[in-house]
Chains A and B, each alone.
Chain A
Amino acid sequence: MDLRLESVGHHYGDMEVLSDINLDIPTGKIVCIVGPSGCGKSTLLRLVGGLELPTTGRILQIGTPPADSINPLTYVFQDFALLPWRSAEGNISLVLEDHKLPSSRVTEIIADVLARTKLTEFAKAYPKQLSGGMKQRVAIARALAVNPAILLMDEPLSALDSQTRELLMDDLVSLWTREPFTSVYVTHNLNEAVRLGHSIVVLSRRPGRIREIVDVAIPLGDRELGDPELERQQKHLWNLMRDEALAADKELLHV
């Protein structure tokens, strides 16, 4: 299943946050969206997932999601959004309970996603017992459990320290390598963008417009920390964004 955004624009009251976004998200690719703070990245992601209605334009699903996809458009949130009163497996079963699956199937799915995110031994642990990185792994496992057609990731690694971030990036890469998934990945971290994105969409400051779409040709599995080509790409992105970021920073002061 592909997604297409056709001249999508959005307003909050009088304030225009997104303007004329045209974008294709092809199956099996990770599309990163970067931009200065306040450019409407997160809003764009909420529009894509149907949590908000765009003021103008439309968002199209092209093709049908796989039959076994329980929740085709699935989010991973920056703040994990785990229920603190449920264990890791309880949080995963939460999103399966409404779908009348046989309980053996539910157990199977939970065991599978826990294994894929290397959480098997933490199945009974409560969020308060888990580190930030572990919590986000549970959230990713929960997202995988519904077999999404498209993963919508909203700065999933921003709340983590840099070492944990590196580890989780490796995990995401190996997850994708084993079984490619489609994803829209919003981040403000350019390093994450060049490590995880097949293409990187650079948004301008508010109202967010697409400034440039950068394709990264290196296969995901071959992108190492400190790769000179990636460094170059990251620098290019930064050059694109620097003036926008500076302007956005000043603009915020006037608000």
Chain B
Amino acid sequence: MSEIDTTSASKTVEFRGGGFAPQSRKWVGVAVFIVLIGFVELGTRVGFITNLTLPIPSDVFATFVDLWQSGLLWKHLVPSIMRLIVGATIGVSLGIGVGILIGLFSLIRAGLIPLVAAIFPIPKIALLPLFVIWFGIDETSKYALIAFGTFTPTVVATYGAVDNVDRSLIRMGQSFSLSWLSIVRKIVLPGAMPGILSGLRISLAIAIILLVAAEMLGAEYGIGAYILEAGSLYDLERLFVGVAILSILGVLVSLVIGMIEKQLLSWRV
């Protein structure tokens, strides 16, 4: 220390390491919502946004309350949620099953990956009339549409997740002479779980998107039918209520998956 010449001019070393580190600012998201809705409310009330362009947010809220109080909310929501649950369960479980088979067996991989790639980009809505012929106009065709729509993204996410399972863990299982089934059940599946769950986020969002399409044909009740009806009646308040319900469904699904991830993937670093 004594070797330092303290008589020469000195200054603190300048800090230049700030920024580029995401920080948690939860309230900002809420604030953006509030400001945006407040702006629309003001605009529609004062008149610089015409009632043909956007509905008054408080009217939308009042419409929602009406829907709630009249009991129609549940009449629309229950069949929709039923369709989501049944359709997505079929699509996701088949998707995970096929995805795992693709991940495990080279022959199935070679045979199915081109097929999955071919059906992934098909707009499932285009197939709706066909599904009506195949499965009838009632619930089955709606389940089928949602199942089909969630199937392909789940397959792709699942075999990707299986491919990404640490090979050294599988090697370890073999070195301890674990049976094939044990390796799949105890090493491959849990190892693929993070990838499968993040794929599930996308698949279920697609299921919600497809709900509207599924309810285009022959649905009297359902959130999708409600939105379509509002659209054809040019009833913007109801349209926005319906859209908001779908958004809330999306947020809820994402929260549930978040909770499942916390439960199942607590081991993650």
> A residues near B, CB below 8 A?
49, 51, 71, 73-75, 77, 79, 81, 83-86, 94-95, 97-98, 126-128, 142, 146
Among candidates A85, A98, A128, residue contacting B177 with C-beta atoms closer than 8 Å: A98
Q: A81 contacts which chain B residues (CB < 8 A)?
A: 168-169, 171-172
Cβ of B268 and Cβ of A84 under 8 Å apart?
A: yes
**Among B187, B267, B268: residue with most chain A CB under 10 A:** B267
CB distance from B238 to the nearest CB of A (A): 47
Category for how many chain B residues contact A = 20 to 34
Question: If A83-B186, A83-B190, A84-B269 touch, does A95 touch B178 (CB 8 Å cutoff)?
Answer: yes
Contacts of A97 in B (CB 8 A): 182, 186
Question: Given the complex, which residues of B lie within 8 Å of A74, measured CB to CB?
Answer: 175-176
What CA separation (Å) do A94 and B90 show in the bound complex?
A: 31
Chain B positions within 8 Å of A, measured between CB atoms, are 168-169, 171-172, 174-179, 182, 186-187, 190-191, 193, 265, 267-269
Tell me which of B176, B186, B190 has the highest count of chain A C-beta atoms within 10 A of its own C-beta: B176
Question: Given the complex of chains A and B, what is the CA–CA distance between A94 and B173 in angstroms?
Answer: 9
5 contacts between A and B (CB under 8 A): A49-B175, A75-B172, A77-B171, A85-B267, A142-B176
Shortest beta-carbon distance from B57 to chain A in Å: 46
| Complex contact B169–A83 (CB within 8 A) | yes
Nearest opposing residue in chain A for B172, CB measure = A81
- Secondary structure at chain B's binding surface: helix, strand, loop or mixed? helix
Task: Tally A-B pairs: CB < 8 A.
Answer: 51
Report B7 CB to chain A, min CB distance, Å: 43
Q: Which of B186, B193, B269 contacts A94 (CB 8 A)?
A: B186
Q: Determine whether the beta carbon of A84 is less than 8 Å from that of B267.
A: yes
Known contacts A84-B268, A126-B267; is A79 also within 8 Å of B178 by CB?
Answer: no
**A128 touching B175 by the CB < 8 A rule?**
no
In the bound complex, how far is the Cα of B172 from the Cα of A144, in angstroms? 14
User: In the complex, A79 Cα to B169 Cα: how many Å?
Assistant: 10
Which residues of B have CB within 8 Å of A85? 190-191, 193, 265, 267
Q: Which residue of A lies closest to B170 (CB)?
A: A81
